[in-house]
């Protein structure tokens, strides 16, 4: 556990969530491209990779873990010894015993071809099946106590549930290393309203920010009247973009003054807030741009401007339905 906790801050300068690109538009022709992304990240000191056993091609077959395991095995170069793989175990309705979580973790390790470093509960069932959660959490603690992982974490938990689980785990001598929530300039709710950063700091938990680019809305690639992605994502963009133009204008202004891209500023803002952002990257160009968010920091004035613009936006990102309070 101490080894993992000491290494996480070093990985916080930009990490990648490998599930997203495998859920949206993935096909096997991308494998070599994704290997190149992995290689570029690790060689630049980005060594934490986050995935989930539910991430795949829609068949719940752990495709993301299989690919990540292959990329890890085939990489040879600097920082190889620092690679840290985190996965999330889904709270499927057919997983309702503590042994099912242990089995799921072993299956993830088998797909990865190595032990998982950080295993996380993908979401809480408190909002719809509270009776299921106790056994799953016991299984998560079992995974750590059996030496299958270096640390455990949670995802989409609010402060009330987080404190309850922390107390439950503490009784077994198990510490929570990380909490993963949706957090960006368009999704400040977990920090500004739930005050999760304060709770995590109090409990010694690292806060991981997923979707730090708000599904791409903060990249500057989309505008009102322009082209949008297909499907639900496109519908969401059409609803949100008109109400966030002032925030995007502020983001663009800061980016131009810094000679950075809007994406780099949005990611750096998350870092300045003391979180570990995990933006997705499905090609080398995106990975290289994300890496450009490292090695510098926004100043207090720039952060205040972005905070003000974010708070005054008419629209926000839709919150994850599994997020608890």
- Of 55, 144, 189, 222, which is the active-site residue? 55
- The number of residues making up the chain comes to 325
The strand ranges marked E within 199-320 are 206-210, 276-278
Residue of 189, 181, 182, 133 whose CA lies nearest to 153: 181
Domains in the chain: boundaries: 2-311
Integer CA distances (angstroms), 269 to 26, 89, 188, 263, in order: 29, 28, 11, 10
Quote the CA–CA distance of 138 and 136 in Å, as a whole number: 5
Mode of pairing for the β-strands spanning 176-182 and 48-50: unpaired
**Tens place of pLDDT per residue across the chain (325 aa):** 434 544 454 433 334 434 343 433 455 667 788 899 999 999 998 999 999 999 875 555 688 899 999 999 999 999 999 999 999 999 999 999 999 999 999 999 999 999 999 999 999 999 899 999 999 999 999 999 999 999 999 999 999 999 999 999 999 999 999 999 999 999 999 999 999 999 999 999 999 999 999 999 999 998 887 788 888 888 899 999 999 999 999 999 999 999 999 999 999 999 999 999 999 888 999 999 999 999 999 999 999 999 999 999 999 998 899 999 9
State both tokens at 148.
């299958």
Q: Of 119, 293, 271, give the one whose Cα is nearest residue 209.
A: 271
Cβ-contact 323, 159 below 8 angstroms: no
Give 256-290 pLDDT, tens digit per residue.
999 999 999 999 999 999 999 999 888 999 999 99
Contacts of 103 (CB under 8 A, 6+ apart): none
Topology (CATH) of 2-311: TIM Barrel (3.20.20)
Interval 12-65: pLDDT, tens: 333 443 434 343 345 566 778 889 999 999 999 899 999 999 987 555 568 889
CA atoms within 13 A on the CB side of 127: 12
Catalytic annotation present for 55: yes
State phi, psi for 274 to the nearest 5 degrees: 80, 20
Choose among 198, 203, 160, 162: nearest CA to 180: 162
pTM over 0.75: yes
Q: In what order do the strands lie in the sheet with 176-182?
A: 16-17, 48-50, 84-89, 118-121, 151-155, 176-182, 206-210, 276-278
């Amino acid at each position: 556990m101490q080894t993992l906790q000491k290494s996480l801050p070093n990985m916080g300068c930009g990490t990648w969530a490998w599930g997203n690109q495998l859920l949206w538009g993935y096909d096997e022709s991308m494998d070599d491209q994704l290997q190149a992304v992995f290689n570029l990240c690790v060689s630049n000191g980005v060594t934490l990779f986050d995935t989930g056993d539910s991430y795949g091609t829609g068949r719940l077959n752990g495709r993301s873990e299989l690919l990540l395991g292959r990329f890890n095995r085939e990489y040879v170069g600097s920082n190889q010894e620092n690679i840290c793989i985190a996965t999330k175990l889904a709270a499927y309705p057919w997983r309702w015993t503590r042994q099912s979580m242990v089995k799921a973790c072993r299956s993830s390790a088998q797909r990865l071809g190595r032990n998982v470093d950080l295993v996380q509960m993908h979401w809480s069932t408190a909002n719809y099946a509270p009776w299921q959660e106790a056994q799953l959490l016991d299984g998560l603690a079992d995974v750590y106590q059996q030496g299958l992982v270096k640390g455990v974490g949670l995802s989409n938990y609010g402060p009330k549930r987080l404190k309850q689980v922390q107390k439950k785990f503490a009784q077994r001598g198990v510490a929570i290393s990380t909490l993963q929530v949706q957090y960006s300039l368009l999704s400040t709710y977990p920090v500004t309203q739930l005050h999760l950063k304060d709770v995590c700091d109090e409990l010694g938990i690292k806060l991981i920010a997923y979707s730090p680019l708000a599904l791409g809305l903060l990249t500057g690639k989309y505008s009102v009247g322009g082209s949008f992605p297909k499907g639900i994502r496109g519908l969401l963009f059409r609803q949100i973009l008109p109400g966030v133009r002032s925030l995007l204008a502020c983001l663009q202004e800061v980016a131009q003054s810094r000679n950075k891209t809007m994406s780099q500023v949005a990611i750096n803002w998350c870092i300045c807030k003391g979180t570990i952002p995990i933006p997705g990257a499905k090609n080398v160009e995106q990975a290289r741009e994300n890496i450009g968010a490292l090695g510098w920091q926004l100043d207090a004035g720039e952060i205040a401007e972005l905070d003000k613009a974010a708070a005054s936006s008419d629209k926000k990102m839709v919150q994850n339905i599994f997020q608890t309070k």
